[in-house]
Amino acid sequence: MKTPGDSGFAFPEWAYKPESSPGSRQIQLWHFILELLRKEEYHDVIAWQGDYGEFVIKDPDEVARLWGARKCKPQMNYDKLSRALRYYYNKRILHKTKGKRFTYKFNFNKLVLVNYPFIDMGSAGSGVPQSAPPVPSGVGTHFRFPPSTPSDVLSPSEELRSPGVFSAVARRMARGSVSDCSDGTSTNSELEEAGVVVADERPTERAFRSLLHPRLSHDSLFRVYGAPPNPPGLTRGGPHAPQHRVHPEPLSPFPVSPLPGPGGLLAPPLSPALSMTPTSHLPYTPSPSLSPMLGSHFSFNPEDMKRYLQAHTQSVYNYHLSPRAFLHYPNIVIPQPQRADKGLGGPAGVGHHLPAHSLHHPQSEEPHLSPFKFKLQPPPLGRKQRDGPPTSGAGHAPSVTPAGLGSSLSFGSEHGSVSGQGSNSSRLVNSSSGGPPKIKVEPISDIESEEEVEVTDISEEDDSCDVFAPPHSNGGPAPVPRHDATIADDDDLEEDVFKAPAAPGLGPALAVLKAEPREASPGIAPPSSPGGTRCIPLKLRFKRRWSEDQRMEAEADEAEDKKSRAEKEESIQEAEPKKLEENGERRSPVTLVAPLGTGQRRVSNELQRATAQLSLENDGC
C-alpha cells in the first residue's frame, strides 16, 4: 500500500495508521463518511454543509446501506449507524450539529492528528504535494456560514491557495470511488498518491502549541511570528469544485492548505514560548483545526528546536507552563530537521526517531518512543448516569456533568452553545443533583491522550522530583496520593504521567532543562522514595497547570466552532445569537482569521489524502 507509485512517496504504513487506523482493522466509519463526502457521486446522500467540517446526511437510509455494504452488514440502518456516529462524540471526532437533522460536524483536529501523525509534510514544501483541498472551496477556517447563507460562505478569506496544488488534488479526488462490497471497486490507486503527504501536522501542531502554551493558539503564534502566509483573500476557486452545487461552495471541511514553503510560516525560529509565555492569559486558543497547519509547515532545525526547548523549559518553569509541552518536542520536532532533506516530502520523515526502522518495519512502532500515539478514543467513561451506578464506591452519583469540568467544557460547549436551543442543557447540567463531586471527565481523557500522550514529561518531573516512577515499579498504584476529588482531572493526568514510559529520546532535552537533575540515576525512584514525596507539590503544581491546559484545550475545541462563527459573524454578521456569548471573549477575530485559514487548508489537504488512502483499505467483504 504504501507504494509510492505515484509521484509522491508513500509513507510507511505505520505512518498513517495510528491506532485506529483501518489498516489494522477495518475501515472506520468516519473514514467512510469522509470518503463519501469526497465523492460527488454521493452528494445526494451526504454532503458538506454549513460550517467547517459540517456535513449533512441527506439520505440516511442510503448512507446506512452503503456503510452496511462496506462492512458487509446488511442489517445496517441509520439507527445503528447513527449510534456509531454518536460513539464518536466521546472521541471528539464528531459532534452533532444541534437543531439540524442528520447533521454532524467533524473535528478535524483530531482526525488528522490521529490518523496521520507525523508525516512530515512540512517540507512539503517542497512540493506541496499535499495539496489538495478536498472540496472546492477552501473553506477555510473560519468560515462558518450557516447553510442558509451560502453566499457568505465564500468569503474571500478562504480561498485556496496555489493552483498548482489543486491540480494534484483534483486528480486525486477525481479518482476516488467508494467501494463497497457490492461495488467492489475499491481504489487503491488513491492511496498511493495520497500517501504522499499526509500529515504531520499533529506533531508539529502539538508541539507548537505546547510550546507556546496550550492556550496559545495559533493565532498567537501567528501574531508573534507575523502574518500568516496566506492571506485570506486568495482565490477561491475550488479545484474541483462542485459542479453540482449551486452554492458557492460546498464547504469542505478540510481546509486547504497550502503552505508556502517549507518553512512556512512558522519557520521563524524563535521561540515563541518566550515571548508568548505569558500569554496564558489569552482567552482562547485557536481552533484545533488550525493548529495542524502550523505544524506541518514547520520545519525547525535542530538547533532551533533546542532553543525552543530551552525557552520552553524556562517558560515552563517560570510560568508554570506545563512541562508536557515540551516533551513533545524532542521527539517530534527534532526529527523534522532531518527530513528536511527529503525535499519532496518524501517519506517523511517523520521522525527520525524512528526513521530507520520505521521504514523497514512498517508496523513496528516504537514502543517507547512513539511520541505520537494518539488515541482517538479516550476512554469513554461511561456515563451511567441513568442506570444505576454500578460503581459502588462512588457515592457520587450520577456524576457527571460534562459541563462541570473543563474538559467537558469543550464538549459541552458544543452542546452547550448550541444547546441553547435544546434540551441539552438539561443534559449538561444535569443531574448532578447533588453531588458535585465526581466529575466525569470524558473529554479530558481525550485530551489527555492527545496532548500528553506519551510524551510525558515525566522525565521532567522526574528530574525535579522523580516522581516519575516506573509504572510498575512499586506496584503501588498511585504513588502520589490522590489529591482530591476536586481535581479529578489530575487523576487522569497523573495516570498518564505515570504510565508513560520514560522517553528515551528525552534525554537530551531534558538535560538541558534540568540543570542538574540530581542523580538521575538509574532507577527512577519510585514514589516510595522520599524524593517522591517532595516532589508532590511541584507535581501538583504541574498538574494543576495541566488540568487547566487541558481544559483550555477542550474549550478551544469547542471554541473553535464558536470561534469560527464568531469571526464569521463579525465579518459578516451574525446569524445566530448563541454565539454571541463567546464572542465577547474572543479577541479580535481578524487576526485569527488569517492564520486559521491557512492552517485549515493544510489540514484539509491532509485529510483528503488520508481519506483517499482510507478508501483503499476497504474492500471486499
Partner DNA sequence: CTCGGAAAAC
Partner DNA sequence: GTTTTCCGAG
Element (H, E) at 55: strand 54-57
| Sign of the alpha-carbon dihedral angle for 57, 58, 59, 65 | negative
Pick between residue 271 and residue 377 the one whose CB is nearest to DNA.
Answer: 377
Q: Rounded to an integer, what distance in angstroms lies between the CA atom of residue 600 and that of residue 53?
A: 10
Smallest gap from Cβ 58 to DNA, in A, equals 11
In the complex with DNA, the residue whose CB is nearer, 387 or 516, is 387
Closer to DNA by CB, 14 or 78: give it: 78
Task: Give the pairing of strands 103-106 and 94-96.
Answer: antiparallel
Indicate the residue among 64 and 139 with the shorter CB distance to DNA. 64
Separation of alpha carbons 400 and 430, rounded Å: 8
User: Which residue lies nearer to DNA by CB, 141 or 432?
Assistant: 432
User: Residue 47: enclosing H or E segment and its boundaries?
Assistant: strand 46-48
Does residue 28 touch DNA according to CB under 7 A? yes
Contact assessment for residue 114 and residue 374, using Cβ atoms and an 8 Å cutoff: yes
Q: How many CB atoms lie within 10 A of CB 141?
A: 35
578 binds DNA (CB under 7 A): no
Of positions 373, 384, 483, 499, contacts DNA by CB under 7 A:
384
Check residue 372 for interaction with DNA (CB under 7 A).
no
- Taking the complex as a whole, the smallest distance from the CB of residue 471 to DNA amounts, in Å, to 15
Out of 246, 281, 356, 390, the only residue in the binding site for DNA (CB under 7 A) is: 390
| Min CB(77)–DNA separation in Å | 7
Shortest Cβ distance from residue 17 to DNA (Å)? Answer: 12
| Contact between 110 and DNA per CB under 7 A | no
Which 295-354 positions form the footprint of DNA (CB under 7 A)?
Answer: none
270: which 3 cell numbers?
524563535
- Cβ-Cβ contacts under 8 Å for 149 (sequence gap 6 or more): 572, 575
Smaller CB distance to DNA: residue 102 or 254? 102
Measure the CA dihedral 581/442/367/289, to 10°: -20
620 binds DNA (CB under 7 A): no
Q: How far is the CB of 104 from DNA (least distance, A)?
A: 8
Kindly tell me which of 70 and 563 has the beta carbon lying closer to DNA.
Answer: 70
- Candidates 251-259, 383-391, 430-438, 591-599; binding stretch for DNA (CB under 7 A): 383-391
Smaller CB distance to DNA: residue 39 or 415?
A: 415
Q: Binding string, 64-103, against DNA, x = CB under 7 A? A: ---xx--x-x-xx-xxxxxxx-xxxx-x----x-x-xxxx
**Binding of DNA at residue 210 (CB under 7 A)?**
no
Quickly count: other Cβ atoms within 10 Å of residue 481's Cβ: 9
Shortest spacing between CB 432 and DNA, in angstroms: 14
Instruction: Specify the residue, 444 or 510, whose C-beta has the smaller distance to DNA.
Output: 444
DSSP 8-state secondary structure symbol assigned to residue 403: G
Give the helix ranges, DSSP H, for 347-473: 355-360, 406-413, 419, 424-429, 442-451, 458-465
Taking the CA atoms of 599, 411, 282 and 251 in sequence, report the sign of the dihedral they define.
positive
- Could you tell me the smallest distance in angstroms from the CB atom of residue 455 to DNA? 17
Give the strands of the sheet with 46-48, arranged side by side: 46-48, 54-57, 103-106, 94-96
Tell me if residue 167 falls in helix, strand or coil.
helix
3-state secondary structure of 322: coil
CB nearer to DNA: pick between 98 and 601: 98
Contacts of 69 (CB under 8 A, 6+ apart): 180, 181, 182, 183
Near DNA in 7-26, by CB under 7 A: 19-20, 25-26
Closest to DNA by CB, 375 vs 586, is 375
Nearest-approach distance from CB 530 to DNA, in angstroms: 34
Cβ of 620: how many Cβ atoms within 10 Å?
Answer: 13
| Cell numbers representing residue 534 in the block | 517532595
CB-CB neighbours of 7 under 10 Å: 12
CB of 496 to DNA, least distance (A): 13
594 near DNA (CB under 7 A): no
Using the 8-state DSSP alphabet, how is residue 420 labeled?
T
H or E segment to which residue 104 belongs: strand 103-106
Q: Residue 415 Cβ, how far from DNA at the closest point, in Å?
A: 7
Per CB under 7 A, contacts with DNA among 111-140 are none
Is the CB of 104 or the CB of 326 nearer to DNA?
104
Query: Rounded CA gap, 353 and 302, in Å?
Result: 13
Task: Supply the minimum distance, in Å, between the C-beta of residue 186 and DNA.
Answer: 17
CA 420 to chain centre: 26
Which among 562, 537, 26 is positioned nearest to 284, based on CA atoms? 562
| Interacting positions 421-460 with DNA (CB under 7 A) | 423, 426-427
The smaller minimum CB distance to DNA, of residues 103 and 336, is found at 103
Count the site residues for DNA by CB under 7 A.
Answer: 48
| Phi then psi dihedrals of residue 420, to 5 deg | -35, -40
375 sits near DNA (criterion: CB under 7 A) = yes
CA atoms within 13 A on the CB side of 583: 18
Find the shortest distance in angstroms from Cβ 299 to DNA: 30
CA 170 to chain centroid: 25
Site string for DNA, 397-426 (x = CB under 7 A): ------------------x-------x--x
Nearer to DNA, 264 or 371 (CB): 371
Residue ranges in contact with DNA by CB under 7 A: 19-20, 25-26, 28-30, 60, 67-68, 71, 73, 75-76, 78-84, 86-89, 91, 96, 98, 100-103, 375-377, 379-380, 382-387, 390, 415, 423, 426-427
